[in-house]
């Protein structure tokens, strides 16, 4: 995933730029009580399973090789927001509630070509194998244009049980300092609208149109832990420059509910519709890294990068075996169905944090969020 490396490098450059701006400023050491509102935007990298619709058959007509018509490993825009407010104390432990959400859209377009040879023929098949007719279509050659449009969103709530604010030393540093443990729940979704247009030199037809919606909703709960680190200060390399570096780790179990709706239309033929659904259990793990600069008593600026791994992401397996009363062509997939793969995402956003409430005496640093 080269794009992941590019995004990590861009994040590092952004942190460096923020640090350079803050180097000449004195650290602000004020605590803000009450609610904090955060809004921001940035870039979303989304890596999802491939779309493998067409295939090649051997001289006996058996499907032997799938063709990847689209791979999605692309950027899009992202927007984030959260509201964080103190709930009081559980015993001597401060409790904070956080409601947050995000939305991102990623699109791409892939063009692929297939040329038949003496031993392998380019083929496409209906998404439903009708037992009373031939449903596969051979081509001397064809080109496909596949478009994918993905909405990626989520909203959730979390309760954090943490420690009180502590001063941040500008000299000496620390390797890691615990801030909170949390428990939360959220709902998130990966909603895909995909379309494929095939044009070629066919034996029976020259064009095929295929479209699908493939929507997966994840609902579950997670545990989290957060803290603050200052590795350079711990190693004695310079000061903190008024910046704070925070980390949050999350792990959760989710119900993953997938709905599929497909439409297959051959040139001059009728449209075939197919609807499917599937439920799986998924693990979602995440790590977030934040670099924060206090701008004033009530405002701060954060550069945040979120990494998330999904153990389940849907991948369609399209039928490539064609069975009729007179002849049967073998294939690896006898029926179109929802299969599974994994997914990965990286989101980098610049966020403005605005705190509400009264200003206490300027003795402590802003509490960890």
Estimate to the nearest angstrom the gap between the alpha carbon of 330 and the chain centroid.
Answer: 36
- Beta-carbon contacts of 53 under 8 Å, excluding residues fewer than 6 positions away, are 67, 69, 124, 144, 146, 196, 210, 318
**Helix, strand, coil in percent for the chain, rounding step 5:** 5, 65, 30
Percent of the chain with pLDDT over 70: 81
- Residue ranges of the domains in the chain? 2-355
| Per-residue pLDDT at 22 | 35
| Per-residue pLDDT at 326 | 67
| Per-residue pLDDT at 168 | 58
- Dmax over CA atoms of the chain, in Å, equals 87
| Per-residue pLDDT at 39 | 97
As a whole number, mean pLDDT of residues 184-191 equals 98
d(C-alpha 78, C-alpha 42), whole Å: 5
pLDDT of 9 over the 60 cut: no
What pLDDT band is residue 184 in, cutting at 50, 70 and 90?
A: very high
Please choose, from the candidates 71, 63, 69, the residue with its C-alpha nearest in 3D space to the C-alpha of residue 122: 63
pLDDT of 208 over the 90 cut: yes
Q: Which tens digits make up the pLDDT trace of 104-162?
A: 999 999 999 999 998 999 999 999 988 888 888 999 999 999 999 999 999 999 999 98
Q: In terms of pTM, does the model score above 0.95?
A: no
Sign for the CA dihedral angle at 68, 63, 330, 202 comes to: positive
| Per-residue pLDDT at 269 | 86
d(C-alpha 245, C-alpha 51), whole Å: 39
As a whole number, mean pLDDT of residues 86-91 equals 90
Q: Which tens digits make up the pLDDT trace of 228-256?
A: 887 766 666 655 567 888 999 999 999 99
- 3-class SS of residue 231: helix
Name which residue leads in pLDDT, 350 or 7.
350
| Per-residue pLDDT at 48 | 97
Rg of the chain (C-alpha set): 26
pLDDT of 367 over the 80 cut: no
Q: Which tens digits make up the pLDDT trace of 55-85?
A: 999 988 889 999 999 999 999 999 999 999 9
What pLDDT band is residue 16 in, cutting at 50, 70 and 90?
A: very low
| Per-residue pLDDT at 321 | 85
What pLDDT band is residue 323 in, cutting at 50, 70 and 90?
A: confident
| Per-residue pLDDT at 358 | 64
pLDDT of 5 over the 50 cut: no
Name which residue leads in pLDDT, 168 or 343.
343
| Per-residue pLDDT at 363 | 37
- 3-class SS of residue 58: coil
pLDDT of 37 over the 70 cut: yes
């Amino acid at each position: 995933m080269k794009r992941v490396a590019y995004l990590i490098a861009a994040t590092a450059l952004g942190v460096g730029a923020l640090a350079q701006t803050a180097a000449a400023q004195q650290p602000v050491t004020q605590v803000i009580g009450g609610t904090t509102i955060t809004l921001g935007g940035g870039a979303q990298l989304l890596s999802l399973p491939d779309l493998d619709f067409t295939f090649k058959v051997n001289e006996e007509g058996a499907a032997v090789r799938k063709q990847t018509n689209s791979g999605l490993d692309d950027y899009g825009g992202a927007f984030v927001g959260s509201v964080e407010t103190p709930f009081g104390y559980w015993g001597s432990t401060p409790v904070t509630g956080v409601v947050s959400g995000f939305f991102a859209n990623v699109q791409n377009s892939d063009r692929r070509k297939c040329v038949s040879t003496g031993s392998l023929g380019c083929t496409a098949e209906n998404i439903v194998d009708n037992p009373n007719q031939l449903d596969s279509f051979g081509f001397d050659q064809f080109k496909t244009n596949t478009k994918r449009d993905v909405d990626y969103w989520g909203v959730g709530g979390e309760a954090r049980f943490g420690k009180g604010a502590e001063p941040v030393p500008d000299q000496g540093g620390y390797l890691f300092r615990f801030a909170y443990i949390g428990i939360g729940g959220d709902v998130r979704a990966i909603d895909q609208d995909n379309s494929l247009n095939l044009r070629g030199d066919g034996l029976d037809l020259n064009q095929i149109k295929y479209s699908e919606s493939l929507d997966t909703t994840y609902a579950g709960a997670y545990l989290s832990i957060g803290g603050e680190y200052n590795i350079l200060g711990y190693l004695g390399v310079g000061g903190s420059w008024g910046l704070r570096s925070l980390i949050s780790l999350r792990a959760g179990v989710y119900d993953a509910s997938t709905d599929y709706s497909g439409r297959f239309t051959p040139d001059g033929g009728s449209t075939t519709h197919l609807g499917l659904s599937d439920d799986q259990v998924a693990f979602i793990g995440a790590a977030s890294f934040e670099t924060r600069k206090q701008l004033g008593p009530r405002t701060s600026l954060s550069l945040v990068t979120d990494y998330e791994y999904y153990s389940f992401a849907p991948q369609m397996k399209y039928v490539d075996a064609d069975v009729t009363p007179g002849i049967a062509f073998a294939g690896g997939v006898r029926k179109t169905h929802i299969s599974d793969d994994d997914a990965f995402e990286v989101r980098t956003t610049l966020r403005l944090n605005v705190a509400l409430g009264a200003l206490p005496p300027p003795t402590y640093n802003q509490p960890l969020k």
